[in-house]
A and B are shown apart, each in its own frame.
Chain A
Amino acid sequence: MSESVLKPPPHTAPTAFTRAQLDWVPWLEPLAAEAMTPRHMASLVDAARVKSPYFRLLARDPDALEARTRTDKDIFYNPDAGLPRAERELAAAATSRFNGCLYCASVHARHAATYSKREDDVQRLLDAGVGADLGERWNAIVAASVALTATPSAFGPEHIERLRRADLDDLAISDVIHAAAFFNWANRLMLSLGEPAAPSAT
């Protein structure tokens, strides 16, 4: 007798990309918070993530989760030079928009808008897609993220040169590569282990 997937509680599925806060409901059983061992808890890195069904599900493979999270944090939060935080988030949002992950796109579009103060441009990316005209520097970052996200990859020297012309140094270009690559990891987990839900009206 095999296990069964979960039937999510009644909810409204979002049908458009948004910067609004979304919930996420799992299709597989997360660990119960009270059943988590110290190793499971440590794998969350941030103890507050015990509230998240997504992280409690990934905690079933704690070594992979912990290493994933520490990779994520350094790519996006390391303040040492390179690409500004807003543009690391832009690469994450563009990758998520292209792969079609509404949940990931909502979180990282929100971050991109917060850090860049360019709410209209971020919203245009969500509404019109990765072909939206966001000004040359952002267009170059989006185009590089999209090319690297295609399977097989369409990323080539022309993307590097365009980023250089947009005044990115090689550390910043490496940050674009890592941010887009990381969201090819995150999108696949978010899309395939559960689904986004519009928060219930209160």
Chain B
Amino acid sequence: MPGTDGDVIDALVGITPGSPLDAIRARRPEARAHAQATYRALFAPETFDNVTAQERFAVGAFVAGLHGSDAIADAYARRLAESGAAAAVSEAIGVAVKEATTHGPYGSYPAGPLSRENTAGPVYRVSAAARRALGPRLAAALEHTHMLIFHPRDAAPGSLQALLDAGWATTDIVTLSQIVAFLSFQIRVVIGLRTLAGRPGREVPT
């Protein structure tokens, strides 16, 4: 399976053994090991059950793409291709990223004092052309994923029902949700640490 041989965060940040950031990550060894263990559980599990490798990497490439086109998005797009996904699927994900990109978080609160903070934004629907390449199951997943990435406070049972109706079982939805939510973490750790690496500061006392 692509990308499981080394620590993904270290690779994407460019952390080398003995560097200051290597020392900093070593101070939180469980977080470092289990961020990687989560990656493995979601993208290279012992058994894929009902969610295929191609589906996992298609969603992964979509999530990474929605966070901006850079090395992280490129890495996940490459992994999607290596997962055995058809070229048409990779292409459709690229198109979907372009169609779906916006700025978050936005969304609405339950009616009350927070209503004044409601912020409008798009609800993403996969285009007909992309839907033909992706199929209904993956198309439903991308629509849900877009909500989770850009306007998670708009989440409602109807969004989960749409997934169930498109053939995602309850357990599959838990895995899909973890993929999107975990990547929201992993990508931010990479962005944060990369920024920190670019501004070397004081040595951290050991």
Instruction: Give me the interface of A with B, judged by CB distance under 8 Å.
Output: 2-6, 13-17, 27-29, 57-58, 60-61, 63-68, 70-71, 73-75, 78, 80-82, 98-101, 129, 148-153, 155-157, 159-161, 164, 169-171, 173-178, 180-182, 184-189, 191-193
Contacts and interface: CB of A to CB of B under 8 A. Distances in A.
Contact of A185 (B110, B165, B184): B184
B28 A178 contact: yes
B94 interface: no
A100 B105 contact: yes
B113 interface: yes
B152 A81 contact: no
A171 B185 contact: no
Given A129-B117, A153-B191, A182-B185, A64 B41 contact: yes
B204 A169 contact: yes
**Most B CB within 10 A of own CB, among A28, A68, A71, A74:** A71
B189 A181 contact: yes
Contacts of B113: 15-16
A49 B189 CA distance: 27
Interface size class of B (residues with CB under 8 A): 35 or more
Interface string B169-201: 111011101101110111111011101101101
A71 B35 contact: yes
Nearest to A77: B30
Interface of B is mostly: helix
Contact of A98 (B103, B105, B161): B105
Contacts of A152: 66-68, 103
Contacts of B112: 15-16
B152 A187 contact: yes
Contacts of A192: 147-148, 152, 155, 159-160, 177
A175 B46 CA distance: 31
B18 interface: no
